[in-house]
Every structure is written in C-alpha cells, then in structure tokens.
C-alpha cells in the first residue's frame, strides 16, 4: 500500500447516533432516536412509516426543530422524566438516577402508552418495592394501568384495615367495591366473634372477648373487631373482585415482555 493512500473510515453501525425532535406542549426535545426506535413498539411502527410531511428545506418530520414530531396529550414534565430514564443526565451515566414516586408513575404511564415493555416492567418493580403507595392509590393506578397485583393488594389492605372505610376512600374506589369490602369485613368480624378473641385498642394485644373490658389490661372500653387472617382476606378479595382482577390480569398480559 502506498504511503499516500488514505482509506475511508468505517462508520460503526452500533454507534451511529441519529437524533429526533419531538414537541411536547411548548417544549422541543432533540434526543437520540435509538431507544425510541428499539424499545418502543409504538415509535418503532411510527418510524417505519415514511414521513410525508416535509419542511421548507425538505427535512422529514422529526429531523430538525422546524419540523418536530408533535406528541399530543402529554405533559412536557412527564416526557422529560421518560427521556431522563432512557438517557440519564448524570455526570456518571452508569449510575442510576434518583426518581421520585410521582416521576416513576409518569414513566409508567408513558411506558404503557407507548409500549416500552421492559421499562414498564421496571417501573412496576420500582413502585412495588418502594411500598409507598397506600391501598387506594394501588387500586386506582392498578385499574388505570392494568397491574392486577396492585388491585389485589389494595383491596386486601382495605379489608384488613382496623377502621371502617372513610368517605374519601369510598368516593375514590366507587360504591360497588366499597359495599363488597364492607361485606368481607363483616364476614371477618363474625369469624372473630365466633372465635371469641379480638384486638384491644388500648394495649393492642389479642384479647379474649369480654366487652367492654380487655382481659389483658382490664382498662379497655373499646374493642375493635379487625379482619386478622390474611389468607381469609385474600380469599375474600379473590371472591368479591374476581372479575375485575381477571380483566386487569388479561389486559396486563398484553404488556408482557416476550
């Protein structure tokens, strides 16, 4: 080979980054196209269709800021959370970012909407492991995003809680589910009454039923009949909410990673 001969460099196929421009509300995002195309079934299909909309310079939709892809019905703050998970802004990018519970909920909603299946699974895992959502939040988000295990655990916790459902809880979950929870709790009370033991509100110990006094502290004038048996509570959930849980499980199966 002659010393003066220069070979043309080869472009690495795996690291030929192409960007795409999105407009969300009034904010433009120019981001690498890679994860949107490789990780989302929705964007993969979108990018596979030739864009017929050109700007004045002949650029296809999404190629530059004068002709962005508009994402309607999405908030910029939520989209930013998604982008920061796909492309962490940390100075040390191999370190996981710190996201709040609300940010993970936003990520889960968008991952579900656009079928980022692995990211959806990760968001569900994170929110489940953090265990910060109360029973009603789990039920509502489980209904919205087809997460059957959240619906199950939420109903179970409401059945097992010491105090009756509040007006706010009834409003949020709906009257029909509230009635079924009340029915399950009453069944639990009868089971406890038949066993002649319950829980003292003063000393918090299981006591022989001797209303209005507790046989442990002998000071209690108030006895709560709590649904104690977790297996019975789970059985009540499986019976009372079988159709809802089955539907959520069926809908959620469509998001399973193959």
Q: Average pLDDT for residues 62-87, to the nearest whole number? A: 94
Q: What is the pLDDT of residue 13?
A: 77
The answer to whether residue 228 scores a pLDDT higher than 60 is no
The answer to whether residue 192 scores a pLDDT higher than 60 is no
Global pTM reads 0.79
Q: What is the pLDDT confidence band of residue 194, given thresholds at 50, 70 and 90?
A: very low
Say if CB 215 and CB 207 are below 8 A apart: yes
Q: What is the pLDDT of residue 212?
A: 47
Tell me if residue 148 falls in helix, strand or coil: helix
Q: What is the pLDDT confidence band of residue 11, given thresholds at 50, 70 and 90?
A: confident
17-48+55-130 domain in CATH 3.40.50.300? no
Report the Cα 100 to chain-centroid distance in Å.
13
| Domain positions in the chain | 17-48+55-130, 149-243
Q: What is the pLDDT of residue 129?
A: 93
Closest CA to 103 of 61, 132, 140: 132
Q: What is the pLDDT of residue 185?
A: 84
Place of tokens 């089955």: 246
Q: Give, in degrees to the nearest 5, the angle at Cα 151 between 146 and 154.
A: 150
CA distance 240 to 151: 12
Give buried/exposed letters for 20-38 (b at 16+ CB in 10 A, else e).
bbbbbeeeebebeebbbbe
CA distance 207 to 162: 15
Residues 6+ apart with CB under 8 A from 117: 39, 41, 111, 255, 256, 257
- Torsions phi, psi for 192 (to 5 deg): -70, -40
């Amino acid at each position: 080979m002659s010393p003066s001969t220069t070979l043309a460099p080869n472009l690495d196929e795996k690291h030929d980054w192409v960007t795409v421009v999105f407009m969300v509300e009034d904010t433009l995002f120019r981001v690498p196209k890679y994860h949107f195309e490789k990780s989302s079934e929705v964007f993969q299909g979108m990018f596979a269709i030739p864009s017929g909309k050109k700007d004045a310079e002949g650029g296809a939709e999404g190629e530059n800021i004068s002709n962005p892809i508009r994402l309607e019905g999405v908030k910029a703050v939520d989209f930013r959370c998604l982008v920061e998970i796909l492309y962490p802004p940390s100075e040390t990018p191999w370190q996981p970012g710190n996201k709040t519970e609300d940010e993970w909920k936003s990520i889960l909603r968008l991952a579900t909407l656009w079928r980022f299946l692995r990211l959806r699974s990760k968001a569900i895992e994170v929110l489940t492991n953090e265990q910060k959502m109360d029973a009603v939040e789990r039920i509502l988000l489980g209904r919205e995003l087809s997460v059957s295990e959240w619906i199950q655990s939420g109903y179970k916790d409401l059945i097992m809680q010491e105090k009756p459902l509040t007006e706010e809880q009834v409003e949020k979950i709906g009257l029909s589910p509230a009635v079924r929870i009340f029915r399950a709790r009453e069944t639990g009370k009868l089971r406890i009454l038949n066993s002649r033991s319950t829980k003292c509100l003063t000393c918090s110990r299981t006591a022989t039923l001797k209303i209005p006094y507790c046989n442990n502290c002998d000071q209690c004038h108030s006895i709560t009949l709590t649904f104690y048996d977790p297996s019975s509570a789970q059985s009540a959930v499986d019976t009372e909410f079988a159709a809802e849980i089955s539907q959520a499980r069926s809908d959620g199966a469509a998001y399973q990673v193959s």
